[in-house]
Structure 1
Amino acid sequence: MPHKYELQAARIESVLSAHKVPARVWQATVTPRFVRFDVTTALGTRLNKVSNLAEELAFSLGARATRVYREGGVLHVEVPRDTARTVDLVPLCARLSMVPPNCAVLGVDEGGASLLLRLDSPDVAHVLLAGTTGSGKTALVRTLLLSLAMHNRPGRLQMVLIDPKGRGLEPLAALPHVWQARGVVQDPAAAADVLMALVAEMVRRDAVRRSLPRIVVAIDELADLLVTGGKPVEEALTRLTQRGREAGMHVVAATQRPSAALVGGMVKANFPVRLVGSVVSPEDAKVAAGVPGTDAERLLGRGDFLLVTKGQVIRFQAAYASGPTLAAIADQVCAGGRRGRRWVVSLEPTGLLPA
């Protein structure tokens, strides 16, 4: 491993040895946000004996925090990098030989592999994103939708954009994929009307056994919409999430308040895939992920996410598209300029994570 990480590995071993925990660091994995050290300890060493030293390890390494956890029989010590790096959406897409239809590009996992989400898979159907302010939740929604627009023509996939605050999804409003050219729907009453129109479209499609074009219903600030829109919104969303997949409809909803009271029953039953960013508490983490013990409250924020599906938890760094990149790609999509699935954008910043 590089010399810098060898020094950090030696410090980890030294701290553990001082507390009578013989250990050897045998591998370091570098991700965009942190370095994960794989540690071998003596047989019978308890996890809490090491995890209780997390603060002392952080002090020794000059890090703001460390995370100690066990995964697949291997003990890991996770240390934030001094300078985090973005995962830029356009270069990430260029690395992929092919993006299948209806697939969203999410980012890269801890091993550096590209992570895609196929919306029309029976195991996906609908997606809930949760995370506090600063988690990168809205940026991930935009990236997910932009990647769908980049790799699916409007005749095959359309989008409905609902955003009570009107800021998060506005950069996507001009895409030709936007359903009936409605732009971003902000007013709760208008949102209820749109959702009920989608329910009617779902019923019509069921009757004629049609599922194209796919319709992705994107909602930023789901909790706010449920509060302001009331029963009409909740009932329409419940019907869409219960029966929409067969009609080619998929709900992608985001919230920064994943409390059971606000998004309880409907979410628990009908969103099999969760994308969870940093949250405030273990209780919020459990509601957001749908399963306990994910440690989402310890995520680093700014694009550090968990993909939770079918009991599996995958940590990943979300891909990011800056404002200029969003505008440039939207212009190319509107102009029909999609050459061999390669996109030309020269507007990315230095690669540092956005503030």
Structure 2
Amino acid sequence: MKIMSVLEVVAKLHEKAQLKKAFKNAGLINKYKSGDKEILIYPKIHSVQFDKKDKKTIYTFSLLNGMDPKEVKKKEYVFQQHFGKNIEMEGDLKKFVLKVYQKSMPKELTYKFSEIQPIVAHFKLGIIAGMNRNGQYVAFDLLKHPHILIAGETGSGKSTQLRSIITTLIKTKRPEEMELYLADCKKSEFHIFRKVEHVQCALSQPRDIRKMLQHIKKELDERSDLTETFEVSHVDDLPQEHKRPYIVVCIDEFVMLRKDETIMDILTEIVAIGRTLGVFAILSMQRPNAQVLDTTVRANLTVSMGFKLRDKVESRIVNTPNAEKIEVSGRFIMNSDKLFELQAPYLDIEKAKILLNPFYVSKKEVKEVMDEQPQLSEKDVFNDVNE
């Protein structure tokens, strides 16, 4: 024990010396002369801690009076030069915490539910986003950060991100707790979910999608009436006999629906008031369009995930700066409370089918409503899908 203690003391002294070098190179020092000598005064280092579990070193320090805290963030690159890219710097006016991680973000991250489950277990609707540059998973609760926009070019990782998000929701929530309404305008993404117990419908024709959203609009109105009747601010607070499942509406390539005013009006309403009513939207698109993503919609899409985008204009529309510079498939910029650079879990279709197999139920084959076929009523559409 004594030998270990001495080794740890030596290690901490070494790390403090490294931190002082970083302070000096970043210009975070005060100088004064005493005779012919120049005296350097460094920020005060309170502690150096070694976290063996998360494989990180934590430095806590305070700036000297008169030092500009903004300079710490501006000079973050200096700390990266000393300690590597995998760092986090947090602080306020004076006290700062620097975390240096040994792990790094992988170039490819295989979806492993055994690793993801404990990360999302304590959320009501857990969304697994990806792994950050420090080798840590980043996840969030859809109830606290409702409505997601996912954008990215073909091959950027957008599709597998949708697949992993939906699969995780299915595996962590019971059908009576959450219902999924899926719309896939390109008919390429959601076929594997059609027979899943949680899935109320998986549609691709615009007129069927319109009916689906009209059904959800009716549900929004009913839930709004219930919260008013029982004088509660959220559907979770309704009496047990009036509880409603969460509803997640996921529409891939929704830009193709932009000319349908009914659809766009209902989507705008969902992202505006859905949070307190337990109705959430996940919207995705390859080519972000400022006309489709108007100010109202963008203001209420609280999480944006920008995979590889074509240019700065598209990155600005999605609100994920520098997404146009991404070169690694599955890499994306997430904007929620703050900006993250993350690697999305890769989940291929065959593995997803295996994970979803326990949730498959016998349903009639979902038939597309072709233009030459007679117009189906909303009831017909939902009966075809749900039986």
Q: Is TM > 0.5 for Structure 1 vs Structure 2?
A: yes
**Shift in Å at residue 73 of structure 1?**
2.8
1:299 pairs with 2:326: yes
Paired residue for 1:151, among 162, 172, 175? Answer: 172
Report the counterpart of residue 299 of structure 2 in structure 1. 269
8 Å contact from structure 1 (residues 162, 219) kept in 2: yes
Report the counterpart of residue 139 of structure 1 in structure 2. 160
Report the counterpart of residue 251 of structure 2 in structure 1. 219
Deviations 1:55-94 (A, max 9, x none): xxxxxxxxxxxxxxx966321587xx9x933232324325
1:241 pairs with 2:271: yes
**Shift in Å at residue 334 of structure 1?**
3.3
Shift in alpha-carbon separation, 1:140–1:133, aligned structure 2, 3 A = same
1:104 pairs with 2:104: no
Report the counterpart of residue 9 of structure 1 in structure 2. none
8 Å contact from structure 1 (residues 89, 107) kept in 2: no
SS of the residue corresponding to residue 174 of structure 2 reads coil
Separation (CA, whole Å) in 2 of partners of 1:258 and 1:139: 18
Report the counterpart of residue 354 of structure 2 in structure 1. 328
8 Å contact from structure 1 (residues 87, 317) kept in 2: no
Separation (CA, whole Å) in 2 of partners of 1:217 and 1:277: 21
Aligned residues: 262
Shift in alpha-carbon separation, 1:168–1:97, aligned structure 2, 3 A = closer
8 Å contact from structure 1 (residues 89, 143) kept in 2: no
Shift in alpha-carbon separation, 1:323–1:71, aligned structure 2, 3 A = farther
8 Å contact from structure 1 (residues 87, 108) kept in 2: no
**Shift in Å at residue 41 of structure 1?**
9.3
Report the counterpart of residue 147 of structure 2 in structure 1. 126
Separation (CA, whole Å) in 2 of partners of 1:178 and 1:264: 29
1:191 pairs with 2:214: no
- 1:171-210 alignment, distance < 5 Å: 171-179=192-200, 182=201, 184-209=202-227, 210=235
8 Å contact from structure 2 (residues 155, 329) kept in 1: yes
**Shift in Å at residue 249 of structure 1?**
0.2
**Higher-Rg member (1/2):** 2
SS of the residue corresponding to residue 262 of structure 1 reads coil
| Structure 2 stretches lacking a partner, 5+ long | 1-17, 28-71, 86-103, 228-234, 237-243, 362-387
**Shift in Å at residue 266 of structure 1?**
3.7
1:257 pairs with 2:287: yes
**Shift in Å at residue 152 of structure 1?**
0.7
Separation (CA, whole Å) in 1 of partners of 2:301 and 2:118: 30
- 1:8-27 alignment, distance < 5 Å: none
Report the counterpart of residue 169 of structure 1 in structure 2. 190
SS of the residue corresponding to residue 263 of structure 1 reads coil
| Structure 1 stretches lacking a partner, 5+ long | 1-25, 28-38, 45-69, 336-355
8 Å contact from structure 2 (residues 120, 126) kept in 1: no
Separation (CA, whole Å) in 1 of partners of 2:168 and 2:281: 16
Separation (CA, whole Å) in 1 of partners of 2:120 and 2:26: 44
8 Å contact from structure 1 (residues 101, 151) kept in 2: no
8 Å contact from structure 1 (residues 163, 186) kept in 2: yes
Separation (CA, whole Å) in 1 of partners of 2:183 and 2:24: 51
Shift in alpha-carbon separation, 1:95–1:224, aligned structure 2, 3 A = same
Shift in alpha-carbon separation, 1:267–1:72, aligned structure 2, 3 A = farther
Same amino acid, percent of matched pairs:
21
Separation (CA, whole Å) in 1 of partners of 2:156 and 2:343: 11
The residue identity in structure 1 corresponding to 2:271 is T
8 Å contact from structure 2 (residues 152, 306) kept in 1: yes
**Shift in Å at residue 190 of structure 1?**
0.9
The residue identity in structure 2 corresponding to 1:332 is P
**Shift in Å at residue 264 of structure 1?**
2.4
Give the aligned CA root-mean-square deviation in angstroms: 2.7
Shift in alpha-carbon separation, 1:261–1:91, aligned structure 2, 3 A = same
Shift in alpha-carbon separation, 1:217–1:41, aligned structure 2, 3 A = farther
Shift in alpha-carbon separation, 1:43–1:331, aligned structure 2, 3 A = closer
TM-score (norm 2): 0.62
Deviations 1:214-271 (A, max 9, x none): 00000100211224xx111111111111111111000000011112123223432221
8 Å contact from structure 1 (residues 127, 253) kept in 2: yes
**Shift in Å at residue 144 of structure 1?**
0.6
Shift in alpha-carbon separation, 1:97–1:156, aligned structure 2, 3 A = closer
**Shift in Å at residue 100 of structure 1?**
2.6
8 Å contact from structure 1 (residues 223, 262) kept in 2: yes
The residue identity in structure 1 corresponding to 2:355 is I
